[in-house]
Amino acid sequence: MKKDLISIKNLSKQEIYKIFNLAAQLKKEQRQGKRHNHLLAGKTIAMLFEKPSLRTRMTFEVGMYQLGGHAVYERLIGEKIGDRESVQDVARNLERWVDGIVVRTFSHQNVTDLAKVANIPVINALTDMLHPCQILTDMFTILEKKGRLEGIKVAYIGDGNNICNSWICGAEKTGIILKIACPEGYEPFKDMTITHSLEEAVKDSDIIYTDAWASMGQESEKEMRNKVFQAFQINKKLLSNANPDVLVMHCLPAHRGEEITDEVIDSSNAIVFDEAENRLHVQKAILSLLLRNEL
């Protein structure tokens, strides 16, 4: 029976750690110069992207190549999945040609509809609601740096967006203690304790995490959001309220001078490029396990 990756909430704790263990193995092998192109030899994925991408596209394409497979990229410019033909028909076509579908779309319903119909694995590479591949990578990176996830305190500062929503799912599965600080009216999709005090959120935290104030598709709100979120910037003053060894994370792209300052993102506390690198290794593990029906 095929399995999809739509949300972290659909994974068990054991499955999450299975992904992490394989990601660690693949990362070690790559650094040792060992090839693992036998894992998905001859396999192909279709990548349907409504939104632009650097990390997601690059890491899925490079990942498939390193695993011995091939990725076919389809950038939908000026249209969305389901515009030219139904989402269901797209799924029925693709399942005849490829071994998996990676989708980056505005509507979360598109991903769930594709997964419902397609007899091949569907991977959510970002929707307006969730970004599971990013948060799985972030948790893997924390595990590398801290040696555990259970009891780790993560302060999420900013918009209650798809990143924040996926953090809620990830924390519930792994025992991470998540604190969320966001402006009123910008809360995440699930009822939980929210603070509007940054100092309260970062106190005793192991990780401080932020994201863009205006996501893709919200460009018209950027000026307004910059005013609303101005007090939610990650800067040196805020870090003075946290533990000296606190780690700072950002899913990127970063808008320097807005949600995070140069002196923080370029500091020794920041591990943003470590997490960016790990997108490759974690997504290779996801692809390998799903396309071989081992998850």
Catalytic residue among 57, 113, 128, 134: 134
268: tokens are 């020794």
Task: Mark 261-273 as b/e (b = at least 16 C-beta within 10 Å).
Answer: beebbeeebbbbe
Q: Is 75 a catalytic residue?
A: no
DSSP 8-state assignment for residue 65: H
Catalytic residue among 55, 104, 108, 225: 104
Q: Is 4 a catalytic residue?
A: no
- Measured CA to CA, the distance from residue 87 to residue 117 in angstroms comes to 9
Q: Is 92 a catalytic residue?
A: no
Q: Is 32 a catalytic residue?
A: no
With CA atoms as reference, report the closest residue to 104 among 74, 84, 78: 74
Catalytic residue among 55, 108, 279, 281: 279
Catalytic residue among 4, 251, 281, 283: 251
Q: Is 84 a catalytic residue?
A: no
Residue with tokens 């909430």, as numbered in its chain: 9
CB 275 within 8 Å of CB 55: no
Q: Taking the mean position of all CA atoms in its chain, how far away is CA 200?
A: 25
Catalytic residue among 211, 233, 250, 281: 211
Catalytic residue among 131, 225, 250, 281: 131
Q: Which residues are the active-site residues? A: 104, 131, 134, 211, 251, 279
